Amino acid sequence: MARILIVYYSRKGENYWNGGIKRIAKGNTERVAEFIQNAVGGDLFEVDTVQSYDKDYYKCIYEAKKELQSNARPEIKVYPDNFEEYDTIFVGYPNWWGTMPMCMFTFIEKYDMDGKMIIPFCTNEGSGMGSSECDLKKICKGAIVKSGLAIHGAEAEQSESKVAAWAKKSF
């Protein structure tokens, strides 16, 4: 039986939402991560950066763009103690500037992914998976990186059946 970890970064508060800004109490990616857990089990782990992104959405995406351009690796507050025990890793994130937030690179590059199954999922407002699947294949040497699922952020709350069906057939 697979040992499943669902690791994700998610943004609460101001988010881009169908062409405007909306405040949300729970991040879209967090919702999708919870739907995956409901469908296939596993443990949830939320990535949290030492330096928080700005609460203002537009300032946040400017910070994210600067991190991408400089290939930054933002520091993460804590890591799971037993990562090596998992063989199936769902990796979730909002699509920022065509890929994962740079903190997800920080997290993933910390570990040896050889022999693990990596299953990406993202939330977005129209850009799909972007280059994140290719990026994961580059940094997850020796892992099997499956095709990901992109969920429109504004529809995340209503996506449980779609997410569950995808998660169940992903491994």
- Identify the pLDDT of residue 2: 79
Give the chain's domain count: 1
Residue written as tokens 């919702």? 31
Range of the domain at 24: 4-169
Among 61, 14, 9, 49, smallest CA distance to 30 is for 9
- Identify the pLDDT of residue 78: 97
For residue 100, which phi and psi values (nearest 5 degrees)?
A: -75, 155
- Identify the pLDDT of residue 26: 96
Region at 13 (left for phi over 0; alpha for psi -120 to 50; beta for the rest): left
Among 129, 118, 167, smallest CA distance to 151 is for 129
Q: What is the pLDDT along the chain (171 residues), one digit of tens a residue?
A: 679 999 999 999 999 999 999 999 999 999 999 999 999 999 999 999 999 999 999 999 999 999 999 999 999 999 998 999 999 999 999 999 999 999 999 999 999 999 999 999 999 999 999 999 999 999 999 999 999 999 999 999 999 999 999 999 997
What does the alpha-carbon distance between residue 170 and residue 125 come to, in Å, rounded to a whole number?
A: 23
What does the alpha-carbon distance between residue 61 and residue 109 come to, in Å, rounded to a whole number?
A: 22
The secondary structure of 31-73 as a DSSP string is: HHHHHHHHHH--EEEE--BSSPPPSSHHHHHHHHHHHHHTT--
* DSSP state at residue 83: G
- Identify the pLDDT of residue 103: 98
Give the CATH number of the domain where residue 73 resides. 3.40.50.360
